[in-house]
Amino acid sequence: MKLVVLISGRGSNLNAILDAALPVEIAAVISNRPTADGLTLARRRGIATHALDHTQYPNRADFDAALMALIDNYQPDGVVLAGYMRILTDAFVEHYSGRLINIHPSLLPSFPGIHTHARALAEGVRVHGCTVHFVTPQLDHGPIIVQAAVPVRADDTPDSLAARVLAAEHQVLPQAIRWWAAGRLVVQNDGRVNLRDADGSEQALLIYG
């Protein structure tokens, strides 16, 4: 399976993907921020990188069109949003329908958007986490592949909670890609994702301390 990975920052989820020794080819890593540390990480791993600065485009549609053209040069089987902090146009999402997955730092459908950890603490939730899902035009929605939950502690701050959620992200994003590459993800007509040939040791919800 050939993938293109999109990032915006340090690339910690990219690093987790690369360290997992998955049966995939990472054809390229693309960032909308030229100074993203994740680009340096990818170059050190011998992966093609591109910086496509969104500030150099007059609007979101033009940027996404340029991004699609760049991605399509690699003819990937799928595209992974690994900490990519841009809202995508419907045209982009529809172009990669069924081939685009995202990692989001909350237990969707709760807390879509940004500042998820602070919002979770403000709401007093007892469990927080992250979600890997197929991307649809609706922001931070789409068929859920896997979720990881972490307990919320009484002394948590947004930063401490974010650190534990990020550790969970590093587990479930590679796992989701492994299932995807193996052809084990089956999206039902009702939008649920089933895992083909699942056994008792595989769960859709993973709990981390």
Q: Is 141 a known active-site residue?
A: no
pLDDT at position 26: 98
Task: Please check whether residue 82 is in contact with residue 31, taking contact to mean a CB–CB distance below 8 angstroms.
Answer: no
% of residues, the chain, pLDDT over 90: 90
* Angle, CA of 53, 54 and 59, to the nearest 5°: 150
Residues written for the chain = 209
- How many Cα atoms are found within 13 Å in the side-chain-facing hemisphere of 53? 4
Taken in order of first residue, the domains within the chain and their CATH numbers are: 1-96 (3.40.50.170), 105-130+147-209 (3.40.50.170)
pLDDT at 199: 65
How does pLDDT run across 79-122, given as a tens digit for each residue?
999 999 999 999 999 999 999 999 999 999 999 999 999 999 99
The C-alpha atoms of residue 107 and residue 1 are separated, in whole angstroms, by 27
pTM as predicted? 0.94
The catalytically annotated residue of 50, 104, 115, 141 is 104
- Strands, E, within the chain: which ranges? 2-7, 25-31, 48-51, 78-81, 100-104, 127-134, 144-151, 185-187, 193-195, 205-207
